[in-house]
Each structure stands twice: as structure tokens, then as C-alpha cells.
Amino acid sequence: MYGLPIVLLLALFVCAYILLRQKKSRGPQTYDVFLSFRGDDTRTSFTDHLYNGLEAAGFHVFRDNDALQPGEKIGKELVQAIRNCRIAIPIISENYAKSRWCLRELTEIMNCHNEHNKRVFPIFYKVNVLDLHGPSGHFAGDLSVHEAMWGNELPRWAKALTSVAWIRGWISQTIADGHDGKLVKMVVQRVSSELQTMWIERLPIFPMLMSNYHIRLAYGYFSEKKRGEVFLAFHGLDTRLGFAACLYSSLVGAGIRVLKDDHPYLIGTHLIHGIFNGIHHCKISIPILSVNFASSQWCLDDLAEMVDCKRKKGQKILPIFYKVKPSEVKKISDSFGTYMLKHREKVEPLVYGRWKRALVEIGSSKGLESKKVANGDEGELLKMVVEKVLMLLTNPQKLDPS
């Protein structure tokens, strides 16, 4: 019954793939990707590698020569290139904010993102993303240089820098020890995936095909495959390169689709809303509660969202108490108590109360305590988690971890 719809859908993917690479069929002012960058920082290095990688993959890329911009305003061609591109990639480097052209480009990009849902995939190249919030650090100093001549534009530029920092992107220093080649490959893969989906949905026959129930169902199935079944939450410094990485590999090795904070699917989404959306679409959430878990407001937000999904949607939660006791979480004692006390001074009472209720509920639920599984053998713990997850996915009613 589903054979023909799936064949038609696969044909749709092939058609989109071919059209995506037929650059001659597109108008000269239409680009797949717009690159915004500071020439002095990256033109002949990273940006050049990325441009060549995207072009080699068949994409039409706009790369402006900021050193040749005439006049005092962004030219019409540049504005049209930003507005008509499908994806904008601002490469935020050390001296990006020293260029008013870069700041004006970024402001236009963020306006298009906010008003027309333009896809923005930022790359934070050898900079501290936290310095963009505010902005602060050297970015604040760079902005102040423009104050004498361009003071009326400063608020918009500062807002654009802060806004782009709230979009999940690639942080160069965290990828393959800062190796540009790996980063370029990741960007090209993500752009390819996004543009193929865009082309499918822009094909003239797409609405007609979606009017068929079985084809719509099949398309929904393939779309769902891009999402995760399990959401993994953890404190980066405690477990990212250790237990969390091993658990992720074990789950993926068992054929389970896993979503975590650095998943490519989340690139281009809001730092908070993207994560929450990922949690909502997963079937199981696995928080790894470690000694410094409660030090992170991000981790506490994720945990509270998981508990909300459990209450409202019946989503399963399988907590792992990694080198901590469930009682420490439930009673908010030891490190959990210390960190929560610090947060209490800084956040709204409603937020603090939400975090506290989530910790109490998770600490009271059934989970896996690392120290008690095979005398702390993490290999056995990994196997047990995978088994429980597979059981929950195949028969949600058979095992209730919480």
C-alpha cells in the first residue's frame, strides 16, 4: 500500500537534488548561501576554504569583497543578495565588529531572520561567544570605535551581535581541536541537508503530492527520521568527553536516533527554544545528573522542560545518577544544594521554583545509579541504558523508568 508513495517521495528527493545543482536555472541575484566575514581575519584562510567547499558541492555562494565597498551604505546588490539568499552564514571573527560593513551586513541578516525567518547558521571563529552577549569584552571596545561617526547605528549593531549569539552555530575551537577542514565539512553537510529540504518543499508538484494522504504520511516518516528519539542532557565539563560521549556512541550504535546540544539538527535554532523543541519531539529524555549538573542554568532549564513534557505528554525520563546519589538530587543537598543556593540570588523566584521541583521529582524517580551498577563498571551501565531505551522504544508500556 505504501510502495508507490515511497517511490514518488524518493523521486521527489532525487528531483530536488538535481535542481539544487542546476545553477543556470536560477536568476543571477539568487544565492544559496551568503557569507558575511571580516576580510582581514579570514578571507584567504577559513572563508576561502568554506567558499570553495560550498561551491564544490554545487551551491551558489555570495562572497562580498568588503574592501571594495563604495559609499557609506550597503549597496543594493548586497542587500538583495542577503534578502534573496536561502541561508546566511556570518563568520564572527576577532575583528568582525571593527568593520561597519560587517555590522551592517549582520544587522540586515538578523532583520531578515526575525521578520522573514531567514535561516542563519553562524560560525564563531576563534572568539568567545559570551563576549557577544551585551556585547562585552573586546566586541564592546570595537563597537565604541564607531561611536563618533556612526553613533546612531550602534544600538542596531549591538542588538544584531547579541541576537546572533543566541542562535546555535559552530564554535571553531570546539571542533576537532580547531582544525578548519573538519569544520568546513560539517558546514557543507548541514547546508546540503537544509537546502535539499527547502528545494523539495519549493517544487511545483509538492503541494499536489502532499494532498495524497499516503505520500504525506511517507514524507512525515522521512522528516521524523531527522529528529531524535532520545534527548541526552549532561554537564559538559563533567561528562561530555567521557561518559556522555560513550553513551551517545552506544545508543547510536544500537540504531537509536539521539539528540544532544551539539547535534547538527539544532544548528540555526535559538539556543533555548531549539533545545526545548528537540526535547518535545523526542520520546525519551536521559538527564545525566553529575556533581556539577546544577551549576548550569542550561542543564536545569533542560531538566525542568523534561519534567514538563513528562507531565503534559507522558514522555519517558530515564535519569542517570552519575557518581552522585539520588538522595542528593531529591533533597537538593551537597553540590546540588550549594549551586542552587547561588542561583537563588540571581534568578526569578518562579524560575528557581521550577528548577527545584524538577530536581525533587527526578531525585524521587527510578533511575540508574552509576556506583551501584556492577560496582561502578561503566561498560555495564552503558549496556543497561541501551537495553532499557530499546525496551521503551519498542514497548513503552512494558517498562516505566519513572
**pLDDT: which is higher, 198 or 401:** 198
Residue 401's closest CA among 315, 336, 298, 331? 315
Query: Can you list the domains of the chain with their CATH numbers?
Result: 26-187 (3.40.50.10140), 227-394 (3.40.50.10140)
pLDDT of residue 177: 83
pLDDT band of 97, cuts 50, 70, 90: very high
Q: Are 325 and 375 in contact (CB under 8 A)?
A: no
Q: Are 108 and 79 in contact (CB under 8 A)?
A: yes
Calculate mean pLDDT across residues 229-250. Answer: 96
Calculate mean pLDDT across residues 349-366. Answer: 98
Q: Are 382 and 250 in contact (CB under 8 A)?
A: yes
CA distances from 73 to 76, 108, 153 (A): 9, 12, 12
CA distances from 15 to 10, 22, 153, 206 (A): 9, 11, 44, 11
**pLDDT: which is higher, 30 or 67:** 30
SS3 for the chain is CCHHHHHHHHHHHHHHHHHHCCHHHCCCCCCCEEEECCHHHHCCCHHHHHHHHHHHCCCCEEECCHHHCCCCCCCHHHHHHHHHCCEEEEEECCCHHHCHHHHHHHHHHHHHHHHHCCEECCEECCCCHHHHCCCCHHHHHHHHHCHHHHCCCHHHHHHHHHHHHCECCEEHHHCHHHCHHHHHHHHHHHHHHHHHHHHHHHCCCHHHHHCCHHHHHHHHHHHHHCCCCEEEEECHHHHCCCHHHHHHHHHHHCCCCEECCCCHHHCCCECCHHHHHHHHHCCEEEEEECCCHHHCHHHHHHHHHHHHHHHHHCCEECCEECCCCHHHHHCCCHHHHHHHHHHHCCCCHHHHHHHHHHHHHHHHCCCEEHHHCHHHCHHHHHHHHHHHHHHHHHCCCCCCCC
Residue 402 has pLDDT above 70, yes or no: no
pLDDT of residue 21: 54
Instruction: List residues bridging with 259 in a β-sheet.
Output: 231
Q: Are 316 and 272 in contact (CB under 8 A)?
A: no
pLDDT band of 138, cuts 50, 70, 90: confident
- The region that residue 58 occupies, defined by phi over 0 for left and psi between -120 and 50 for alpha, beta otherwise, is left
pLDDT band of 196, cuts 50, 70, 90: confident
CA angle 252/254/255 to nearest 5° reads: 65
pLDDT of residue 227: 67
pLDDT of residue 10: 61
Calculate mean pLDDT across residues 43-71. Answer: 82
Report residue 259: phi and psi, to 5°. Answer: -115, 135
pLDDT band of 124, cuts 50, 70, 90: very high
Calculate mean pLDDT across residues 112-119. Answer: 95
Question: Structure pTM?
Answer: 0.82
Query: 363: exposed, middle or buried (C-beta count within 10 Å: 0-12, 13-18, 19+)?
Result: buried
For CA atoms 201, 192, 257, 267, the dihedral sign is negative
Q: What is the pLDDT of residues 140-179, one digit of tens each?
A: 889 988 988 888 999 999 999 999 999 999 999 989 888 9
Q: Are 123 and 78 in contact (CB under 8 A)?
A: no
Most confident of 87-91, 142-146, 370-374: 87-91
**pLDDT: which is higher, 75 or 56:** 56
Cis amide prior to 135 (ω within 30 degrees): yes
CA distances from 109 to 14, 103, 106, 118 (A): 31, 10, 5, 8
Residue 25 has pLDDT above 60, yes or no: no
pLDDT band of 71, cuts 50, 70, 90: very low
Residue 55 has pLDDT above 90, yes or no: yes
One-letter amino acid at 376 equals G
Mean pLDDT rounded to a whole number for the chain:
87
Which residue has cell 549551586?
339
Residue 50 has pLDDT above 60, yes or no: yes
